Structure 1
């Protein structure tokens, strides 16, 4: 009789030797914005896993863009290790995943790609790699190479990569709320095999609301309410398909999204007979200007698509620095009122004269999500990105993963779901 190893044994062999002693916080540092936040300004205290973001795919492998100097890479790794963080580098992202598919579509290419990753890690001292191929067998930005066998090829590549870099290094991935897709375009029936090779996945449970939405709404709702999906639904999709909850980091966005509403008054809507939500309002389709760096100057993306529109995004800290929020984030200012929506467990700002709606996460909502994540057996959370949050938000996240979720002064809402 042949004896086969159990999935648990396979997992022990295939993943790294890292054992987390406490819930983790991961942080993505956008190296392309080093002028706005230097390596020294990264919140290292709250970066158990620190992601250098981003190297982009090419037809033959990957490269660090020319505007990201190698001196920053060296400094990033050095300071991460000094702070006790695990430095990883990310490959891909929204604009950098064009050639992921073609880099892993044959065994020979998988071997070449894995060796390139191993050599880059060794050159700079990284302790892991983050595969930011967010949409295998999905278009993503619109011009990514796609193959119906992308998910199967990714799994085959992970086996090669683990063998190449060994078990002392981390393999993580940024993944979508929709999971890995099969040849038919639907989520695979099982993600269990991927769990044997990934140390962690970073679940991007944000960008659920945005300029594509029919109504206003949160960037990252805890519950679905009237959104397309939610934090809770996204985690359930992954765990019900066999991916270990203990290897999931829940994403928390440090940026806000904004809309121009049709009315200067908010209308309450009934949700499932349980909630009254004011988060979902009719809007004009016009995205207002976001934070200080937002621009509608003509631009062309990596696909060659031209646009001239605002993103409507704000860094959370800029809502405070630009005086849309009070210094402690508890109240709106400059004509804005802060609301907290109990159904989605997220705050938003509304200015009736400007008809400007801004949905975001803060210390209250982030701590609720972090606490919920730990109660579900998740490994922790990650933040995208390091530029957005103030220190008090990180403190609330860290505290909530060990204690009862904190609330901002003056905020009242139902937290009974935390015990569910």
Structure 2
């Protein structure tokens, strides 16, 4: 399955903005580099390489042939290939790799060598998160954000100005020693070409209720596109260097009731059915998904999930406050939050009005939705 959002009538390229997309190399069996929809994209991220105790590695299930094909296909289509370093499960060692001048210089050299070896035009630092535990077992230092800034200075000096340095960043910004967002992000803008604002995963298995994956407005969610953009630009990061994240994947819940309850949100400005009580069971997604319990990178064991696939009986709803759609199947009590062409166009228009640099779609390979009664 291939993600494609038609953002006509004014494409980002025509309007002088940028479009970037992540290609999940671990899903190459479902979507090869030759199947990637390159049109309209200026930057493509090879996702992901993961941190190690001494640097970073390519996971064993991502063969070298895929790297070669990705870089070759990107360049053949006039797209800059960039590799992404870190990720949710790959940021465990990030903190310890940049906590001294010697280590920062070593990591910068390894990044440059990897780019030269494979022909990448830049690197994307997907540290999740500086001074944050992320997956749960990351190395953490209260001075992580300061160390990141020092590393960016070294890396920019090493790579020069012709190569891209970007970062996938949290809606909460870079955390200071006390855990709160730094007072200013302006200094980071001197060394980063762009930040890819991760305005998604706002709701998930940790949420007390169902909710939109990537709400435009906060409504009843913990964060939103608008609050994240306001934080980053309000603290001095150049708006023109912010790429707004748009998810090309879905999140799902099993609700407690087969009936959707409507509530008031945003102080009564809107009424919403997006926020429902749920029973803690995440429905199975793609046919190849496994429901077997597994142990993650931190050694945490997860519970088995609901084994049903969900085919028919879904109804599409569009939430006016969050400006995102969701699907609901009352018989299965399955709730699926996602973005489609309508919500992507709303977010793109917002990015342009706010003077942002463009959008970044995560990920290339995701899902295909048929809204004629099935999923």
Corresponding residue for 2:366? 388
Asked whether the 8 Å contact 1:258–1:312 carries over to 2, the reply is no
Q: How far, CA to CA, are the matches of 1:123 and 1:285 in structure 2?
A: 45
Once the two structures are superposed, the pairs formed by residues 171-250 of structure 1 within 5 Å of their partners are 171-250=165-244
Once the two structures are superposed, the pairs formed by residues 346-357 of structure 1 within 5 Å of their partners are 346-357=324-335
Once the two structures are superposed, the pairs formed by residues 258-273 of structure 1 within 5 Å of their partners are 258-271=252-265, 272-273=267-268
**Secondary structure in 1 aligned to 2:177?**
coil
Corresponding residue for 1:361? 339
Matched, 1:303 2:298: yes
Q: How far, CA to CA, are the matches of 2:344 and 2:304 in structure 1?
A: 29
Corresponding residue for 2:8? none
Corresponding residue for 2:286? 291
Q: How far, CA to CA, are the matches of 2:324 and 2:15 in structure 1?
A: 29
Q: How far, CA to CA, are the matches of 2:286 and 2:63 in structure 1?
A: 26
Asked whether the 8 Å contact 1:346–1:365 carries over to 2, the reply is yes
2:141 to 134, 137, 147: 147
Instruction: Specify the structure having the higher radius of gyration (Cα).
Output: 1
Matched, 1:157 2:151: yes
Matched, 1:31 2:25: yes
Asked whether the 8 Å contact 2:254–2:281 carries over to 1, the reply is yes
CA RMSD in angstroms comes to 2.2
Relative to structure 1, is the Cα distance of residues 240 and 132 closer, same or farther in structure 2, using a 3 angstrom cutoff?
same
- Give, in angstroms, the shift of residue 308 of structure 1: 3.1
User: Structure 2, unaligned stretches of length 5 or more?
Assistant: 1-12
Q: TM-score when scaled to structure 2?
A: 0.91
Corresponding residue for 2:43? 49
Corresponding residue for 1:123? 117
Asked whether the 8 Å contact 1:294–1:312 carries over to 2, the reply is no
Matched, 1:40 2:18: no
Higher relative contact order (CA 8 A, sep 6+): 2
User: Structure 1, unaligned stretches of length 5 or more?
Assistant: 1-18, 314-321, 325-333, 394-407, 410-420
**Secondary structure in 1 aligned to 2:39?**
helix
Aligned length: 359
**Secondary structure in 2 aligned to 1:300?**
coil
Query: Once the two structures are superposed, what CA deviation does each residue of 1:115-160 show, in whole Å capped at 9, x if it has no partner?
Result: 1111111111111000011210100001111011100000001000
Asked whether the 8 Å contact 1:254–1:383 carries over to 2, the reply is yes
Query: Once the two structures are superposed, what CA deviation does each residue of 1:263-285 show, in whole Å capped at 9, x if it has no partner?
Result: 22112111222111111112222
Q: How far, CA to CA, are the matches of 2:36 and 2:307 in structure 1?
A: 24
